[in-house]
A and B are shown apart, each in its own frame.
Chain A
Amino acid sequence: MECSFALVGKGYVLVAADTTAARSIVKMKSDEDKTKVLSPHLVMTYSGEPGDTVQFAEYIERNIRLQHMRNNHELRPQSSAAWIRRTLADSLRSRHPYSVNLLLGGYDEATSTPHLYWIDYLGTIASVPYAAHGYGSYFALSTLDRYHNPAASLEEGLRTLRRCIDEVANRMAIGVGKFKVRVVDKDGAREVELPPSVSVA
């Protein structure tokens, strides 16, 4: 089952997406990267209709890159989010809408603040402290309600993210496999390793 999570901490945003590519009941791939680094300080997870997802993510990626090249300046997270949302909202009322759900994490260098946006295929956008997509959200959001701390260090944030993933692995009827985790902060976007799971007594 596809799921993705993200959370904001002190000066960073963490995003995570599962790495399974499934077709019906068959697991086709277990190292699919469903995240994208859109610009030096902007990362995104994507999920939804297979085919639409990669097509849309690459379209977004290239346009954000174009914006960066043309203006010799990164588009800020708020503006990127607004443009991506608009692209989805316009697509919704087109002949063939994209059905892609996104979590967008960015670090605004101008104000030195992290931003996280929850965006769905309808073009709904919400600026949130933590977010999730897919069936995993039913477990992860409760876990994050309890453990999320906006002032947490990266280590603490990763531990919280690990709790979410463990909770989903523990409670979901179908296994979710490994997760790809990326962080974005003042130093830009990079991949990080999750701490080992703490056994639930």
Chain B
Amino acid sequence: MSPISQPTSVAFNPYAENGGTILAIAGLDFAVVAGDTRQSEGYSIQTRYAPKVFRLTDKATLAVNGFAADGNIFVKTVKQRLEWYRHAHAKDMPLRAIARLIQTMLYAKRFFPYYVYNILGGIEEDGSGAVYSFDPVGSYEREACRAAGAASSLIQPFLDNQIYFKNQVAVSGTSHPKHLPILDVLSLVTDSFTSATERHIEVGDGLEIYVIVASGRSLTELSSIAGIEEVTGSASATDRVFVIRRELKKD
């Protein structure tokens, strides 16, 4: 008697969740985009240094979080589209156009989505700092701040409180500031990540903070920051990009 082979179904899951958290805050004439550098799957750490924040142009930075493989391919494709734009128009794509490009690219894969949350930060054509946040299928919105990823639920209420001054009442005759000074913003970013690292197992190892500064803004405050590095692409750029690297707990 020959054994009858039973049909077996093999479910292939094309997605993974790689942890980590990203965060962006817009200032009056600057934007800060940050992400931790841990990449994990389940309880295993795949690497302690996998960047999630990328400089796209001298006025735009993109943070991607979720399924790392999709994130990397997505950033690669966005960069390619921006290069084609440069070849066609001899200038960098404006930030709001990049935001709309990202929407179209995400929605194009509406029924097999890139499993990533995107946050775009940079400088608009009018010189204002801007943050755009996206869901995996391309819904997007311009905001003053946004946290996404594994520890977004830990960080977002903190930003509501410290950036939007939610549940805080200004002293009578005064009002809450619309934009915070850059050093205050950077403190909030570090505090957010150190807190998230304490309480979330998927967050930690390293922190990369990109700072995009509008042309004409004084850089004196930035020069006081230890280990700050300029990563502006072209020598003729007017807006400038810096990166600050910090260690986070590795346990």
Q: Is there a direct interface between A and B, measured as CB atoms under 8 Å apart in the complex?
A: no
Q: Name A's B-contacting residues (CB within 8 A).
A: none
Q: Which residues of B contact A (CB under 8 A)?
A: none
